[in-house]
Amino acid sequence: MFAPVYLDHNASTPLLDAVREAMLPWLGVRFGNASSRHEYGRAARRAIDDARAQVAAAVKAHPTEVVFTSGGSEANNLFIKGAAARMKPGVIAVSAIEHPCVREPARQLARGGWELAGIAADTQGRVLVDTLDPRAALVSVMAANNETGVLQDIPAFAAAAKRSGAWLHSDAVQALGKIELDFRALGVAAMTLSAHKIGGPQGAGALVLDKRVDIEPLIAGGGHERGLRSGTENIAAIVGFGVACEQAVAALGARREAMQAQRARIESCVAALGGVVFGAQAKRLPNTCYFALTGIDGETLVGKLDRAGFAVASGAACSSASPEPSRTLTAMGVEADLARGAVRVSVGAATTMQDVDDFCSALVRVADELRGLRAMAAA
């Protein structure tokens, strides 16, 4: 079977061997319900407790602050809707570069009486704390953008939120496993994490929630997860999430250094082709390069690279079907024609420098081909 070199790790990552091995018993011989009082149930509860401790340790939180969910989207919705349900309608402020699973629940609140305020970003994709509405009761700013990889100054937003008495939430799905995260030091009230971005299974995530924050559950029922997320736990996925967190933290330093070198190689190639790297002047995730080659459509380039044996993205995986320019790039003031050329390359733990060199060779070849066709069409 044809298998392109995978360079789309911000969309999802391959399951780590250690994660798979930890999950397998819970897909077969171990099958107890963690709410049961017999040994099968107690074993399941111990497995969940161990995973909760592993996830908490990855972000320097306390295990009791970890609420397991089905993924990042549910965790974001749980905080935004759950916190809002405990308040009188007021102002909710979200950054202009947020993922749809933050932006859309905020828009739902706006239809129900809340006022939605945007937080602007500069031309490098950095969210500007001085554009935060001081009236905001809820604030959400992602730790790292999923498209550009640009890192945000979360402590500065935490200080601003504290001054106005707001709860600050940060979607840290892309940051986990790529940079160090300290829940307490960041000063946030809540943080969202996801397993499948760090070599864990799809369908597992967590909301790390300060105990001082009172939220309404999205899913009511038997009172699982401190009453904040009812439903029989997906033990295999939760166990896999825990192991993935442990592995991600253990290998963080070496992996970050390797990814930075690979990103630098890709960006050198893009520069040689006269391309633009979005957010290049900002602090970014070590694995992410988001670029455009002038005059070349991003979707076309992605398709050509796929056929050449390299799997990359034309933007965020959640919105890849949209013909509109990236909302993130629009917020950065990038012109629509250039934004439509955007391509995201995101390397991962298993990416080698040879993979990157081969990709660069293919990029040069495909870009030359597309530019040649464009020149012929214009002649």
Phi-psi region of 133 (alpha: psi -120 to 50; beta: other; left: phi over 0): beta
**Residue 245 annotated to the active site:** no
In degrees and rounded to multiples of 5, residue 194 shows phi and psi of -145, 140
Which one-letter amino acid corresponds to residue 157? Answer: F
Q: Cα–Cα distance between 73 and 349 in angstroms, integer?
A: 24
Q: Cα–Cα distance between 284 and 150 in angstroms, integer?
A: 4
Q: Cα–Cα distance between 345 and 318 in angstroms, integer?
A: 15
Q: Cα–Cα distance between 365 and 88 in angstroms, integer?
A: 58
List, edge to edge, every strand of the sheet that includes 276-277: 276-277, 288-292, 343-346
Phi-psi region of 324 (alpha: psi -120 to 50; beta: other; left: phi over 0): beta
Angle (nearest 5°) at CA 356 between 271 and 4: 120
Q: Cα–Cα distance between 82 and 205 in angstroms, integer?
A: 16
Q: Cα–Cα distance between 318 and 301 in angstroms, integer?
A: 19
Which is the catalytic residue, given 245, 289, 318, 360?
318
In DSSP terms, 91 is beta-bridged to 115, 136
Q: Cα–Cα distance between 19 and 301 in angstroms, integer?
A: 34
CB 260 within 8 A of CB 266: no
- In a 13 Å sphere around the CA of 20, the CA atoms on its Cβ side amount to 5
- H or E, element range at 190: strand 190-194
* All residues at 6 or more sequence positions from 345 whose CB lies less than 8 Å from its CB, including other chains: 7, 8, 266, 288, 289, 290, 291, 312, 313, 359
Closest-CA residue to 263 (of 143, 160, 178, 177): 178
Q: Cα–Cα distance between 242 and 74 in angstroms, integer?
A: 18
Residue with token string 């939220």:
215
Residues recognised as catalytic: 318
